[in-house]
């Protein structure tokens, strides 16, 4: 049986209409994933430039006097590809977290200084992201350079949580050990900025 002429016409018109419609397809690429996670995290951290916040040890501080005293983070330097955040413990201004934006991920290094500004023996250790993480959390497994100079830290994993208007949390876990340290800073209450840390 021959198909009625009007059915054929309608079918052809529908086909032409469908083929000429632009169908919006969202393609998820590595670039777009980085844009929506690491670069947002980076921007949020940079937005804290010039601000300081008080922190509290929330894990790993039992019986450890290393972090006794007032804890302060200060986003002191933000420039292209580098953000430096001194972490002050009481009168100890030896520590600075250095975040670096690289082409293939984010890097976290720990800069330790003596009061005269010279480098500590264990310095610039850290880790690098191996995935895009989320806009509010980036994970830094220990890198090979750190393992080479500090074999005892082969299983270190650091991660940083940054929730704008809420908190910034720095965490360290040494896998297969009981070592876990976490300090949380309250981003809802800005405090007076401290002086320059050692070595600055």
Q: What's the rounded Cα separation, in Å, for the pair 29 and 24?
A: 15
Average pLDDT of span 151-155:
91
Average pLDDT of span 131-151:
95
CATH number of the domain encompassing residue 75: 2.40.128
Q: Would 63 be classed as within a structural domain?
A: yes
Q: Would 157 be classed as within a structural domain?
A: yes
Average pLDDT of span 66-92:
94
Q: Would 11 be classed as within a structural domain?
A: no
Structural domain harbouring 118? 33-191
Q: Would 140 be classed as within a structural domain?
A: yes
**What pLDDT does residue 173 have?**
95
CA 65 and chain centroid, separation: 27
Q: What's the rounded Cα separation, in Å, for the pair 40 and 55?
A: 23
Q: Would 130 be classed as within a structural domain?
A: yes
Checking if the pLDDT of 30 tops 70, the result is no
Could you tell me the pLDDT band of residue 80, with boundaries at 50, 70 and 90? very high
Q: Could you tell me which residue, 9 or 198, shows the higher pLDDT? A: 198
The rounded percent of the chain whose pLDDT value lies above 70 is 82
Average pLDDT of span 177-186:
93
Q: Would 166 be classed as within a structural domain?
A: yes
**What pLDDT does residue 66 have?**
78
Least confident piece of the model among 27-31, 51-55, 108-112, 170-174: 27-31
Residue 74 tokens read as 């200060």
- Residue 83, Cβ neighbours under 10 Å: how many? 20
Q: Would 64 be classed as within a structural domain?
A: yes
Q: Would 49 be classed as within a structural domain?
A: yes
Within 8 A by CB and 6+ apart from 132, the residues are 30, 33, 34, 37, 38
Least confident piece of the model among 15-24, 96-105, 191-200: 15-24
What total of structural domains would you count in the chain?
1
Residue carrying structure tokens 């949390």: 169
Q: What's the rounded Cα separation, in Å, for the pair 144 and 2?
A: 74
- Average pLDDT in the chain: 86
């Amino acid at each position: 049986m021959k198909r009625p002429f009007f059915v054929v016409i309608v079918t052809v018109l529908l086909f032409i209409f469908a083929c000429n419609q632009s169908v919006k397809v969202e393609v998820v690429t590595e670039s777009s994933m980085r844009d929506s996670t690491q670069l947002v995290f980076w921007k949020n951290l940079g937005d804290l430039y010039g601000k300081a916040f008080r922190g509290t040890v929330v894990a790993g501080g039992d019986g450890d006097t290393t972090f006794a005293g007032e804890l302060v983070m200060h986003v002191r330097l933000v420039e292209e590809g580098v953000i430096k955040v001194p972490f002050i413990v009481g009168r100890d201004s030896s520590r600075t977290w250095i975040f670096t934006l690289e082409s293939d991920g984010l890097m976290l290094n720990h800069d330790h200084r003596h009061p005269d500004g010279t480098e500590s023996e264990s310095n610039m250790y850290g880790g690098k992201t191996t995935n895009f993480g989320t806009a509010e959390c980036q994970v830094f497994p220990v890198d090979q350079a750190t393992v080479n100079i500090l074999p005892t830290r082969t299983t270190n994993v650091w991660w940083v949580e940054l929730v704008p208007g809420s908190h910034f949390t720095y965490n360290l876990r040494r896998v297969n050990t009981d070592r876990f340290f976490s300090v949380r800073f309250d981003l809802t209450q800005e405090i007076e900025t401290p002086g320059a840390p050692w070595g600055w």
